[in-house]
Amino acid sequence: MIFSSNDIMTPAQLKRLSEHKYNSCGSTLLDPVLQPYWNWLVTKLPLWLAPNLMTINGLIITITTTLILVYYSPDAQQEPPSWAFVLCAVGLFVYQSLDACDGKQARRTGSSSPLGELFDHGCDSISTVFVSLGICIAVKLGAYSNWMFFQCFIAITLFYCAHWQTYITGSLKFGKFDVTECQCSIVIVHFISAFFGTDIWMSKVPVINVEFRLLPILLAFGISIVLCYYHIAVVCRGGVGKNGSTVAGTSVLSPSIPIGIVIILSFTIYQKSTENIYENHPCLYILAFGIVAAKVTNKLVLAHMTRSELDYFDSILIGPGMLFMNQYFNTFINEYIVLWLCLVYSVADLLHYCTIVCNQICNHMNIQLFRITPKAQPSRTVAYNNISANQLRLSGHKAL
């Protein structure tokens, strides 16, 4: 195989990736409840349907339905039509169903590959941005811009931290209240906003005298404290590498640098903006920096699966750098224009990165991204009941 200067992964990384074995532990509260539904659903899927095609279609649905909400409420303070919330709720449920069944479909068709884990987590890193933004619009959190900033970035950071501890320990751990529970809660919130209106979230909770829309923030704050304690404990115990290092033999603290740069830039630019760029365009701002965080997370997942050192800086940081430099030169260009440039550049950079990585892996493993050749007979059935839903959904049992 010939490698060019445009390739992102080295031959050694590709070799280690092909040898990667998925490792996870833990089960969430809703796994036993939803497992029968997922097991039934996967039997209705055609054997020619590629698992990665399921994943990417679910992501497209989530992005589309959320962007509809953003169109009607770009500042997260407007009232989108009820059908938009219903569409967003149904879209998220469809995404969750496809995300839960793609691993099962790969096992069913005999198209398992460690690359499915990479593709799955990559899509999840993007969907996290849109899902967290959607719930902010559903409860009109734009009225509390600081809390909206916290809500979205805490979700992005916690997703990153989950893979940070995986990079350290070599195993992805699930808690009792994890992504499935969060997604189901958000689906319920969207339906409530659709049938009762978003004003219902402005009502105050008896006794504590706090608006209902701030409850998710308080819950996220509480969960973040618990998870921060857990992640600190993981770091203190050390990793599975030599002398307590990561799987790549690097410092267990090194993954904090990339996400730290993104968060610091996003907060600094937000605070120092003379045109109140975040307050006036919160959804656009969060999307721009969320895409940057998504690529940083993708690179962390890839570093874990290839047991490689994580790069601290990346070309996608040029996007936020445009905003930073524009402020440094006293807002030479309108910040709204620069923010759009930042978003467009970041999306293009992420797509360019993903395209090259996927093409390299497909060429190396001699597989196709969205097409498979089923190895199982149509009558063949597979028992899933004793396998964790999260292990199936997020495992490498898919083919690119």
In 199-320, at which residue ranges do the beta strands (DSSP E only) sit?
A: 204-205, 210-211
Closest residue by Cα to residue 213 from 112, 144, 114: 144
- The answer to whether the Cα torsion of 179, 183, 184, 186 is positive or negative is positive
Contact call for residues 128 and 156 (beta carbons, < 8 A): yes
Tell me how crowded residue 240 is: count the other CB atoms within 10 A of its CB.
12
Q: What torsion, rounded to 10 degrees, do the Cα atoms 58, 164, 351, 396 define? A: -50
Q: Which of 121, 281, 364, 397 is catalytic?
A: 121
CA–CA distance, 95 with 353 (Å, rounded to integer): 23
Q: Which residue has the tokens 């993708």?
A: 298
The answer to whether 264 and 198 have CB atoms below 8 angstroms apart is no
Nearest-angstrom CA–CA distance, 29 and 182: 11
Strands (E) in the chain, as ranges, are 24-25, 172-173, 204-205, 210-211
Distance CA 337, CA 280 (A): 13
| 121 catalytically annotated | yes
CA-CA distance, 88 to 138, in Å (whole number)? Answer: 10
Give me 262's structure tokens. Answer: 């993104």
| 8 A C-beta contact, residue 118 and residue 125 | no
Q: State how far the Cα of 302 lies from the Cα of 292, in Å rounded to an integer.
A: 16
Give the side-chain half-sphere CA count within 13 A for 368.
9
Q: Which two tokens stand for residue 186?
A: 């958000």
As to burial, measured by CB atoms within 10 angstroms (0-12 exposed, 13-18 middle, 19+ buried), residue 243 is exposed
Q: How far apart are CA 88 and CA 86, in angstroms?
A: 5
What contacts 392, CB < 8 A, 6 or more positions away?
100, 103, 104, 107, 384
172 φ/ψ angles, rounded to the nearest 5 degrees:
-85, 120
Active site residues: 121
